[in-house]
Structure 1
Amino acid sequence: MASTNPEHGILVPSQYATLSFHKADSIRLLSFPDEIKSHVESLIVSTWPPGIQSTGPCGEAYEFKLKGKPWGYFGSQDAVGGIRLLRDILALLYDCSWELVTSAICSRRYTAKDTLIFRQNSHSSSTLPAQPVEWLGLATAFYDKIRIVYDAKPVRRSGVEADHDHLGVIIMNLKKMLESLDYFEKGDWSHDSFEFKLKGRPWRSRGEATIKMRLMVLKLLETMESMGWRVYTTILQRTGTDEDRMTDTWYFVRTRPSGREVMSSSLSA
């Protein structure tokens, strides 16, 4: 996509850049400006407790090699931290007017993870500030797990900072949906996030069972949308093996509710 230069009436190509994941511990930025690299480094320091092992050029890209394994296996604190880290990087780039175009697999290696392609959205004529949004990660993994990674931020209500229990609402509504399809087995907190364990092995299903699994995916999206969440992207970000391919992590975004909306929601609950 290109924009028109108002002075000369000619098309000016958009600037594209990529964010990619490598091995179990590395992030590479390609064609992002230096200020974005600096912002990402500061965010990693504040969001990823193990910290950064090294930074520097990697060919034409700029690489952050992290301590720990944010792109490792699902059943670990590092993997949950990796979801939070990527969620916050997506939020940072969104706030800096970098629009996600698509995610893509650029390698046939079984350990390959997605490359995210961004376009700089700096040609908008709107002078109004973007509405504040919040982010949620939802990961499907193993053969029977769904994990929700969401951190509610304070919302001002009647002049007072107050946390609304939106995560509890999400858990309750998703549980109802899973029960309606006879998928719910149990739910519990694990690695500072909430995890559903499902009946059967839906992510390993075959034949007609795959239809029921896909119906669950549709119902999940409908349920999330009913609470104001839309899918921003799905990303293959974890390391797999030659026998087991990792499934996507879904990232949702929604406009943050105002204090009045929060009060109305609380009164109607």
Structure 2
Amino acid sequence: MADDGAPEKSTSGPSQYATLSFHKTDTIRLLGFPDDIKSNVESLIATVWQSGIQSTGTCGEAYEFKLKGKPWGYFGSQDAVGGIRLLRDVLALLYEQSWELVTSAICSRRYTAKDTLIFRKGSPPPLATPAQPAEWLGLATTFYDKIRIVYDAKNSGYPGAEADHDHLGVIITNLKKMLESLDYFEKGDWSHDSFEFKLKGRPWRSRGEASVKMRLLVLRLLETMESMGWRVYATILQRTGTDEDRMMDTWYFVRTRPGGEDVT
């Protein structure tokens, strides 16, 4: 039959969209995800978030987890680091289940609003290649002068695991060199089971030429992370600010595990 110019119909079926959002200082809502994802997320929260779950239930069409503690709060470094770990592992879970992050978006004008994450899952094509095993890292710019790295190597005895376990030291060393090259490095130390750099000046409150240098720092940071195999997966506003002091995004990086060994 001659081509009549009509577009071909897709045989893969429609895409499925869903959202993950953060509310108040302690609540996660899932909208549009199937029941197995809700169950998996609940199990993950119970494992990763040490304070535990206070309650679960519906909120309109969404399913809601109210946590003990304040993972999305303004104050409290321990909860803040735990919140980064929690969201990092939720992103990894959804990634492994072939839910692709489309974008993060602010859906409210309230100054306490946090991001809504929009995910997409389409019907897989025939003989689809499964996602390669990956590992995850959270990087938070905090206060006016700090960068915090949240990374946990999973040492499960696979070939090369010991070298992978030492990778955080490689990250710290390379980022320190980069900060020194820009005259930003003041000191670095362990804090709340993560590593924190304190920077000279107040780059996250800078203006004028200093703000240009700060953006150069962001570019060099991305280049340094990429040189070690990490790419940015998402930048997410996940913590509550005030009407006078806005919180900054947390950056989530992903990299394919060396050798393709699945250690999850």
TM-score computed with the length of structure 1 as normaliser: 0.90
Task: Please state how far the C-alpha of 1:153 moved relative to its aligned partner.
Answer: 1.2
Q: Which runs of 5+ in 2 are unaligned?
A: 1-7
Answer yes or no: is the 8 Å Cα contact 2:132–2:260 preserved in 1.
no
Task: Please state how far the C-alpha of 1:116 moved relative to its aligned partner.
Answer: 0.1
- The residue number in structure 2 matching 1:225 is 226
1:171 equivalenced with 2:141 (yes/no): no
Q: Which runs of 5+ in 1 are unaligned?
A: 261-269
1:144 equivalenced with 2:145 (yes/no): yes
What is the CA–CA distance in structure 2 between the aligned matches of 1:126 and 1:209, rounded to whole Å? Answer: 51
- The residue number in structure 1 matching 2:135 is 134
What is the CA–CA distance in structure 2 between the aligned matches of 1:161 and 1:90, rounded to whole Å? Answer: 22
- The residue number in structure 1 matching 2:56 is 55
RMSD: 1.9
What is the CA–CA distance in structure 1 between the aligned matches of 2:93 and 2:13, rounded to whole Å? Answer: 25
What is the CA–CA distance in structure 2 between the aligned matches of 1:227 and 1:45, rounded to whole Å? Answer: 32
Answer yes or no: is the 8 Å Cα contact 1:155–1:164 preserved in 2.
no
Task: Please state how far the C-alpha of 1:76 moved relative to its aligned partner.
Answer: 1.5
- The residue number in structure 2 matching 1:30 is 31
4+ residue stretches of structure 1 with deviation over 4 A? Answer: 155-158
- The residue number in structure 2 matching 1:265 is none
Task: Please state how far the C-alpha of 1:146 moved relative to its aligned partner.
Answer: 0.2
Give the aligned residue type for 1:21.
F
What is the CA–CA distance in structure 2 between the aligned matches of 1:173 and 1:21, rounded to whole Å? Answer: 33
In the alignment of these two chains, the number of paired residues is 253
C-alpha distance after superposition, 1:25-61 (max 9, x if no partner): 0000001111110000000001101000000000111
Answer yes or no: is the 8 Å Cα contact 1:188–1:196 preserved in 2.
yes
1:1-269 to structure 2, matched below 5 A, reads 5-6=10-11, 12-73=13-74, 75-154=76-155, 156=157, 162=162, 164-258=165-259
Secondary structure of 1:177 counterpart: helix
Secondary structure of 1:50 counterpart: coil
What is the CA–CA distance in structure 2 between the aligned matches of 1:94 and 1:4, rounded to whole Å? Answer: 28
Answer yes or no: is the 8 Å Cα contact 1:74–1:141 preserved in 2.
no
Answer yes or no: is the 8 Å Cα contact 1:237–1:248 preserved in 2.
yes
C-alpha distance after superposition, 1:152-210 (max 9, x if no partner): 1126465x853530000000000000000000000000011000000000000001110
Answer yes or no: is the 8 Å Cα contact 2:98–2:131 preserved in 1.
no
Answer yes or no: is the 8 Å Cα contact 1:111–1:239 preserved in 2.
yes
Task: Please state how far the C-alpha of 1:129 moved relative to its aligned partner.
Answer: 3.0
Give the aligned residue type for 2:238.
Q
TM-score computed with the length of structure 2 as normaliser: 0.91
Task: Please state how far the C-alpha of 1:131 moved relative to its aligned partner.
Answer: 1.2
Identity of aligned residues (%): 81
Give the aligned residue type for 2:47.
S
What is the CA–CA distance in structure 1 between the aligned matches of 2:23 and 2:157, rounded to whole Å? Answer: 40
Answer yes or no: is the 8 Å Cα contact 2:13–2:122 preserved in 1.
no
Give the aligned residue type for 1:186.
K
Give the aligned residue type for 1:232.
Y
What is the CA–CA distance in structure 1 between the aligned matches of 2:55 and 2:22, rounded to whole Å? Answer: 15
Give the aligned residue type for 1:43.
L
Give the aligned residue type for 1:149.
V
